[in-house]
């Protein structure tokens, strides 16, 4: 199986390293560096599962002695580390791994996770797993594993522990960890570590190929809880909306309205038929509309991919409300749309001029729907944020 490894940065304008690996042939098929998050779309055509690495320097890593195995104790673990955390417990996503009498703790800010997943979603990339970069290295006790990558040192020191640090600071950061004891280290590339570290040089054509080879033995995955991957049946709608999702919501409403009007009229106007054909071609590139009269049947086939008839009605009602609300507020750009028929939930990623416009949009939709918000961030030209709509009652 092929594996695409992508190492995401913290800022959207920072370089992104990537590699395409063939496990069958054990070779690198392609690799490179993208200038920023907006160019991630260049990777959505690569075949294979997508392993996403995130900066280990943005993740908290610690451990707590396991007093017992009760569920109450596990729920209390994050609060036991509250003094060591730079952020509030509620603002963090935690992953807990009990082993040998201790609970290893990994934490990352919800805002960062939502940002990374937002980049991938906008690029049409579905992650297979998402892990801190240092935990993607192979590891075998008692040795540590070190890797030089893009000016950083990645160091894995245990099953769920390690660090990612600027390579220039690595020797000073690692020195207190080893003290005067001799520590064997398997090193990929040129790494600078304290003298008490005995290095064994390992072979790797490219740094990210080390992570690609170790992909089947990853110790954990940050895509848990609210970030757990959806099953294929729940992602049919997402697959149905391609790159054209940026205009899809408004275009679908306009197209369906024109189709209904055709069936209510005794005579068909040539100008309306021509407009429907043009709109259909824009919405479904590469597909031909047999005739204006056939648009209902062809749309019905598309809607079957979205779920049951009642779900279709709910989706179309939501889309119609969005269209009216967008027109009323103005200057709204829908970037991505996903509908979960089983939950009656519509998730919309949109760009607006500012935070006040985003709040006005939320308030306008709250009259008819239960509206939750996801992460919001400033982008070129405005504010990008997520709205989650559910029917009231």
The answer to whether the CB of 135 falls within 8 A of the CB of 221 is: no
pLDDT higher than 50, residue 220: yes
- Top pLDDT among 386 and 263 is at 386
CA dihedral (244, 379, 13, 213) positive or negative: negative
Q: Report how far apart, in Å, the C-alpha atoms of 25 and of each of 2, 114, 214, 259 are.
A: 9, 35, 15, 51
The answer to whether the CB of 52 falls within 8 A of the CB of 37 is: no
**Dihedral pair phi/psi, residue 224, rounded to 5°:** -125, 170
Supply 255's token pair: 């197209």
- Top pLDDT among 274 and 170 is at 170
User: Out of 85-99, 134-148, 249-263, 314-328, which region has the weakest mean confidence (pLDDT)?
Assistant: 249-263
Helix (H, G, I), strand (E, B) or coil at 53: strand
Q: Report how far apart, in Å, the C-alpha atoms of 217 and of each of 121, 140, 161, 221 are.
A: 25, 12, 15, 11
pLDDT value, residue 179: 84
pLDDT band (50, 70, 90) for residue 258: low
Q: Report how far apart, in Å, the C-alpha atoms of 22 and of each of 1, 46, 87, 138, 161 are.
A: 6, 11, 39, 18, 28
Please write the tens of the pLDDT for every residue from 349-386: 888 888 888 888 888 888 888 888 877 888 877 888 89
**Dihedral pair phi/psi, residue 264, rounded to 5°:** -85, -15
Give the burial string for 171-201 (b: 16+ CB within 10 Å, else e).
Answer: beebeeebeeeebebbbbbebebbeebeeee
Residues 160, 135: Cα–Cα separation, whole Å? 7
Residues 349, 313: Cα–Cα separation, whole Å? 21
- Top pLDDT among 259 and 186 is at 186
Residue 81: partners with Cβ closer than 8 Å, 6 or more residues away = 60, 62, 64, 105
User: What count of residues does the chain have?
Assistant: 393
DSSP 8-state code for residue 231: P
pLDDT higher than 60, residue 284: no
| This prediction's pTM | 0.59
Closest CA to 374 of 114, 129, 92: 114
The mean predicted confidence, pLDDT, of the chain is: 83
- Top pLDDT among 147 and 244 is at 147
pLDDT band (50, 70, 90) for residue 289: low
Q: Mean pLDDT across the stretch 52-61?
A: 94
pLDDT value, residue 234: 43
Please write the tens of the pLDDT for every residue from 7-39: 999 999 999 999 999 989 999 999 999 999 999
Supply 6's token pair: 């992508």
Domain 234-391: give its CATH architecture. 2-Layer Sandwich (3.30)
* Residue boundaries of the structural domains of the chain: 2-57+112-229, 234-391
pLDDT value, residue 235: 46
Q: Do domains 2-57+112-229 and 234-391 have the same CATH topology?
A: no
pLDDT value, residue 233: 42
DSSP 8-state code for residue 12: T
Give the burial string for 342-378 (b: 16+ CB within 10 Å, else e).
Answer: eebbbbbbbbbeeeebbebbbebbeeebebeebbbee
pLDDT higher than 80, residue 240: no
Q: What is the DSSP string of 79-132?
A: HHTGGG-SS-GGGEEEEEEEETTEEEEEEEEHHHHHHHHHHHHHTT---SEEEE
Q: In terms of DSSP bridges, do strands 382-391 and 152-156 run parallel, antiparallel, or are they unpaired?
A: unpaired
Q: Which residues pair with 376 in a beta bridge?
A: 385
Question: Considering only the top CATH level, what class is 2-57+112-229?
Answer: alpha beta
Please write the tens of the pLDDT for every residue from 127-169: 999 999 999 999 999 999 999 999 999 999 999 999 999 999 9
pLDDT value, residue 307: 45
pLDDT higher than 60, residue 311: no
Residues 63, 258: Cα–Cα separation, whole Å? 61
Closest CA to 128 of 59, 40, 25, 218: 218
């Amino acid at each position: 199986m092929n594996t695409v490894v992508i190492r995401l940065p913290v800022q959207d304008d920072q370089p992104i390293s990537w590699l395409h690996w063939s496990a069958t042939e054990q070779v690198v098929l392609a690799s490179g560096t993208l200038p920023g998050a907006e160019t991630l779309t260049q990777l959505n055509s690569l075949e294979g599962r997508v392993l996403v690495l995130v900066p280990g320097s943005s993740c908290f890593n610690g451990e707590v002695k396991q007093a017992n195995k009760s569920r109450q104790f596990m729920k209390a673990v994050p609060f036991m580390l509250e003094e060591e955390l730079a952020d509030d417990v509620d603002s963090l996503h935690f992953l807990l791994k009990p082993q040998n009498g201790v609970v290893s703790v990994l934490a990352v800010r919800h805002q960062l996770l939502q940002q990374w997943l937002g980049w991938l979603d906008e690029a049409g990339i579905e992650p297979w797993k998402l892990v801190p970069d240092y935990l993607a290295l192979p590891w075998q006790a008692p040795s540590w594993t070190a890797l030089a990558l893009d000016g950083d040192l990645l160091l894995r020191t245990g099953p769920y522990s390690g660090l990612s640090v600027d390579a220039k600071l690595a020797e000073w950061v690692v020195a207190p960890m080893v003290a005067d004891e001799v520590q064997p280290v398997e090193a990929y590339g040129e790494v600078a570590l304290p003298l008490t570290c005995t290095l064994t040089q390992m072979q790797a054509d490219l740094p990210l190929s080390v992570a690609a080879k170790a992909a089947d033995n990853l110790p954990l995955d940050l895509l848990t809880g609210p970030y757990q991957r959806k099953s294929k049946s729940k992602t049919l709608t997402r697959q149905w909306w391609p790159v054209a999702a940026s205009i899809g919501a408004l275009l679908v409403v306009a197209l369906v309205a024109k189709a209904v009007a055709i069936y209510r009229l005794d005579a068909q106007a040539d100008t309306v038929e021509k407009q429907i054909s043009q709109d259909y071609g824009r919405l479904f590139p590469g597909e031909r509309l047999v005739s204006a009269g056939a648009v209902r049947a062809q749309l019905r086939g598309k809607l079957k991919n979205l779920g049951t008839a009642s779900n279709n009605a709910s989706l179309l009602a939501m889309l119609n409300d969005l269209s009216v609300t967008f027109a009323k507020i103005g200057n709204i750009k829908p970037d991505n749309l996903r509908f979960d028929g089983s939950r009656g939930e519509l998730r919309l990623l949109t760009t607006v001029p500012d935070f006040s416009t985003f709040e006005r949009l939320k308030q306008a939709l709250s009259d008819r729907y239960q509206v939750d918000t996801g992460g919001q961030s400033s982008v070129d030209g405005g504010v990008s944020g997520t709205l989650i709509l559910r029917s009231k009652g």
